[in-house]
Amino acid sequence: MSNLENLTSKILEDSKVKAEEILQKAKEEADKILKQKSDSAEAVKKSFIDKAMAEAESKKARIISNAELKGRNIKLKAKQQVIADVYSKAVEELGNMSAEEFKAYLKNNVESLKLSGGEEIILSEKFKSVIDDNMINELKLVRSNDNREIPEGFIIVCKGIEYNFTFEALVASMKKELEHEVASMLFQ
């Protein structure tokens, strides 16, 4: 029986070796699959992190850009307010001109119109008492019966057309052409 025992022992030994080889291969295959899945999970994790970082950078850039835009708008609004205040001050200063200066202003502007005579003049409340009937007659004008309140200055009515020489209209007409110059003087 010794041969039979040897044979059985040999078969058992070979089977053990074969089983260990199979187990080793299975372990290696499992380790390989585990490493692939781990690498794949790491790649997915990195992709998510990269995507989140890119989105965060994009959001940060948008927030900064939006803040810069709001800052520019606030600055622009402040500059526009300063310019508007300058024009308001100009209208106010014109309204404070002396009686003699207003008479010269009236005479120069009426003469520049080259009127035929008989046109109506509407004076602002402040200057109604400054311009007497002699000056109105000298300029070949007629004091209007129109009692509306107008800003400082005067309006000439000629055949239904109004020539507006109020100080607000004067400053408004010059505003477009002087806007760049005024802004550059104020904000050098």
Indicate the average pLDDT of the chain.
86
pLDDT tens digits, residue range 56-114? Answer: 999 999 999 999 999 889 988 887 888 788 888 888 888 899 999 999 999 999 988 88
Q: Phi/psi at 117 (nearest 5 deg)?
A: 115, 150
Architecture of the structural domain at 98-186: 2-Layer Sandwich (3.30)
Using DSSP's 3-state secondary structure scheme, residue 129 falls into: coil
CB 118 within 8 A of CB 140: yes
pLDDT in tens, 11-46: 878 778 888 888 888 888 888 888 888 888 888 888
